[in-house]
Amino acid sequence: MANYDELSGALGRAVFFRPERARARDFLSRHARPTVRVGDAAFPVHDLSMNGLSVLTPPDAAPLELGHVVELSLYVHGRVVFQGAARVARVEDGGRASRIGLALTRGFIDLPAMARQDQEARLQLELSLGADPYGDLISDEYRQALQRAVHFVQFYREVLGRHEARYKLQGGQAGREAIAELQAKALDALSEPWREVRLAAAYAARTVWEDRGVRFTAKALTETVLTPLLLDAPCVRRSYEKPLDYPGDYQVMLYCYNDAWEGDTVFGRVFHRLWLQHPMPSGVRTRRDFVVDLAVREHSHLAAADRDAPEFRVTSLGCGPALEVPSFVERRPRWSGRVVWTLIDQDEEALSVAFQNAQPALSEARGESSLRCLNLSFTQLAQDPTLLRLTDQQHFIGCSGLFDYLRASAARELLGVMYERLAPGGLLAVGNAIAPNEDMWSPEFVLDWSMVYRTREEMTGLARDLPEGAQAEVTLEPGEAYWYLLIRKPGGGA
């Protein structure tokens, strides 16, 4: 699964061919421990491709000097899988470790063969270590909470399946109505008990959170015993399987917005909707309304200030399905002047859905408009802001569901790029999942969907590098699942 600051957008892939580079921890199994040996020194591998790799070196390690050519061996599961020579091509100093890029000058790494060797070694380990080799690391409290969740889900899987089969036998219109009634009744009856089970698991998860190894073991146990039971719920399946390689793709977002009876079985449909009652998916809906309110307000202010046909320029960064556009038009079906929407996403498929949602809505509005969809990643924007082609500065820029995946340094950098694109008096609204968060068990442990949860102070801190005069405030959206960092650029009569 890719992190958001690694998603490259269209340009990165289309113009320059580079052999695929994979992070070792995503590409190889947990016990592979890929290691490079140069002489007597051993370094953990960070990422690798067929023609190079990068390793991490602690501050006190013997230096690998830029430009030097070294003989190296690569080990996976303690066995040599490659020997060759490499030039030290890059040295990035970090706090606890430096990252050294090594470009092979002799030989190439056969990644598919390495993956096969890894899987064979993994199979050996799985057969010999057993199902729960590190089980004693996990607290009894977490085990019990997880057991309760498994029991709950298994029980209602059987109950709902049995009654669905009974009504199906009945057949016809009466059977269909009985099934519709069954799912509505079940949703109603299970909402509160499931919420309790979820919160109890989240509370117990604090006992396995601090230590990374323990957390990993508890997540693995959860994914083994609970997640598979829930895969009939479409939003659980899509969120867990991540078919586009990143979490929270446009289809997952559409599930959150639609909050509909989706799934092939009553059990699947009921748990799909139970899942969407969690504060984070339901907050996706409230935060969209919150952001649209802001955009509508900014538009009204601009229209009031400039009665001669103003142009309102609004951008959504990481737009996904862009349901903010139809929602904006619903709230503001007519305007004088012109509204120019720019939708940006690294995922072409998401942009195509965004276009299909936004274009019909804008053409139904009684007001002039235009729509631009840009397939760009923010890394590309940061490297070359002219790619944004927002020669015209924006009156409003909204960004929801993107900062939750960015480390603080990347988040501050992106904020700088967005601020730079803001018109004087314009407003920036950046959302992020809240910390402390008493309910992150479902995404983290069941769906393997990791996010950066931020406190109010951490949100405020993201704005610290902005130019003097930037006015920042942090507020909660009405669902209270996401903070919004609101930044106004001075000037423009605002």
> How far apart are the C-alpha atoms of 104 and 86, rounded to whole Å?
4
Q: Does 318 bind ligand SAM (CB under 6 A)?
A: yes
Looking at residue 292, its amino acid is V
Q: Does 443 bind ligand SAM (CB under 6 A)?
A: no
Q: Does 38 bind ligand SAM (CB under 6 A)?
A: no
Q: Which of 4, 27, 82, 267 binds ligand SAM (CB under 6 A)?
A: 4
> How far apart are the C-alpha atoms of 108 and 106, rounded to whole Å?
7
Question: Least Å distance between CB 19 and ligand SAM?
Answer: 21
Pattern 276-295, ligand SAM, x by CB under 6 A: --------x-----------
End-to-end alpha carbon distance in the chain: 42
CA distances from 250 to 41, 238, 282, 435, 449 (A): 45, 10, 15, 24, 15
Question: Least Å distance between CB 391 and ligand SAM?
Answer: 20
Tell me if 407 sits within 8 A of 42, measured CB to CB: no
Pattern 89-108, ligand SAM, x by CB under 6 A: --------------------
Tell me if 65 sits within 8 A of 57, measured CB to CB: no
Q: Which residues 6+ apart lie within 8 Å of 46 measured at CB?
A: 23, 24, 53, 54, 55, 56, 99
Q: Which of 7, 204, 434, 440 binds ligand SAM (CB under 6 A)?
A: 7
> How far apart are the C-alpha atoms of 169 and 253, rounded to whole Å?
35
Pattern 330-359, ligand SAM, x by CB under 6 A: ---------------xxx--x---------
How many residues bind ligand SAM (CB under 6 A)? The answer is: 19
Report the residue number, 285 or 301, with the smaller CB distance to ligand SAM: 285
Q: Which of 101, 263, 310, 320 binds ligand SAM (CB under 6 A)?
A: 320
Q: Does 377 bind ligand SAM (CB under 6 A)?
A: yes
Pattern 387-426, ligand SAM, x by CB under 6 A: -------------xxx------------------------
Q: Which of 45, 319, 358, 430 binds ligand SAM (CB under 6 A)?
A: 319
> How far apart are the C-alpha atoms of 345 and 325, rounded to whole Å?
15
Q: Give the β-pairing of 52-57 and 41-49.
A: antiparallel
Does residue 436 have a cis bond before it (omega within 30 degrees)?
yes
Site residues, ligand SAM (CB under 6 A): 4, 7, 248, 250, 253, 284, 318-320, 345-347, 350, 377-379, 400-402
